[in-house]
Amino acid sequence: MFDSSSNPELAETLIAEIQEALPEASGGDRAPVAAPSEPIIAFSHVGISFDDRPVLEDVSFSVDRGQTLCILGRSGVGKSVALRLLMGFLQPDSGSIRVEGQEIAGLGEEGMRAIRKRVTMVFQNGALFDSLSVRENVAFPLRERGGLAEDQVNQIVERLIGLVGAEDVADAFPASLSTGRKRAVAIARALAAQPEVVLYDEPTTMVDPIIARRLGDLIQRLKRQLGFTSIVVTHDMRFAERLADLVLFLHQGHAQFFGPLKEFLASTDPHIQQFLTLDAYLLPSE
């Protein structure tokens, strides 16, 4: 699985082929709205409550192109909620959310469809279509966009499946796949949409350490070779240390810290120190 690292040029070749194949299908609606100097993602004083219970309060952060932000914190602090706000699945009660300089808070479904061509999400469960094979799942975004000949679709799909090391399950259905394989296939399907930002919701939850490491390697390679901007929600500090340029640490709905990974690790904030200490806790040997 994920043995495509033995061919480091594969990803670069693949993205070049996708970019060459897709311009006519894009309809010219993918031009960035933001100036190059603006963050690609920006939250400003965002708040949201469920049943009068605040989940996020006055949260602000930004991510520049090509950066990886890891959102950390204990369970229930609103990490995944931030991703769902970015995808337009939830609407904030207050504040501003901008994607490539465009305000998306309050944007209608038609407007969000255009945003989702730039920003895609890899869900915890993969969110694959149960009735479609791995190959058909990966092909779905390409066929939905249109403008490609079937041989082009097939060529891109095969390369994407190879990139995530899923050649041996290309004709399998999601129900037969392990959690780690589902997430790898979900990443391949996300890449087929040629996004500019990829959101990952707890990619290492319920997978063993070896698969977690391989998923981390894949995400890191996509950043290095393809220049993707990534936002990764995780509770796994070791995973975050391998990936993060920036860290957003949420505590009781507030942005307790936002900044470079190095500064986060050096923080003397007691809540951060407690999180880091608990994450590093090892059971004593007998």
In this predicted model, what pLDDT tens digit does every residue of 186-239 receive, in sequence order? 888 888 888 889 999 988 877 777 777 777 887 887 777 777 899 999 888 888
pLDDT in tens, 70-89: 999 988 889 999 999 999 99
Say if residues 10 and 159 touch (Cβ distance below 8 Å).
yes
213: in domain = yes
Q: What angle do CA 17, 64, 124 make, to 5 degrees?
A: 70
Distance CA 12, CA 31 (A): 21
220: in domain = yes
Question: Could you tell me the CATH number of the domain that includes residue 175?
Answer: 3.40.50.300
* pLDDT at residue 122, rounded to an integer: 87
Query: What is the DSSP secondary structure assignment for residue 33, as one 8-state letter?
Result: S
* pLDDT at residue 266, rounded to an integer: 95
> Can you say whether the dihedral through the CA atoms of 11, 16, 19, 24 is positive or negative?
negative
139: in domain = yes
Distance CA 64, CA 77 (A): 24
Tokens 């399950």 -> residue: 169
H or E segment at 278?
helix 270-279
What's the burial of 16, exposed, middle or buried (CB within 10 Å: 0-12/13-18/19+)? exposed
How many domains, in total, are found in the chain? 1
**In terms of DSSP H, where are the helices of 31-108?**
79-86
Question: Checking phi first, is residue 128 left (phi over 0); if not, alpha (psi -120 to 50) or beta?
Answer: beta
Distance CA 213, CA 238 (A): 10
Instruction: Name residues of the chain where pLDDT drops below 70.
Output: 1-37, 126, 279-286
- Residue 122's nearest CA partner among 78, 184, 164, 69 is 184
38: in domain = no
211: in domain = yes
21: in domain = yes
Say if residues 199 and 253 touch (Cβ distance below 8 Å).
no
Distance CA 202, CA 35 (A): 31
* pLDDT at residue 208, rounded to an integer: 76
Find the largest Cα–Cα distance for the chain.
65
* pLDDT at residue 1, rounded to an integer: 42
Say if residues 81 and 56 touch (Cβ distance below 8 Å).
yes
Say if residues 139 and 152 touch (Cβ distance below 8 Å).
no
Strand, helix or coil for residue 235? coil
Give CA 105 to chain center in angstroms: 20
Distance CA 143, CA 4 (A): 25
103: in domain = no
- Residue 83's nearest CA partner among 54, 57, 122 is 122
Determine the structural domain holding residue 122 and report its residue range.
3-30+66-91+108-278
187: in domain = yes
* pLDDT at residue 69, rounded to an integer: 97
> What is the per-residue DSSP string for 7-30?
STTHHHHHHHHHHHHSHHHHTT--
**In terms of DSSP H, where are the helices of 133-178?**
134-145, 150-163
* pLDDT at residue 164, rounded to an integer: 80
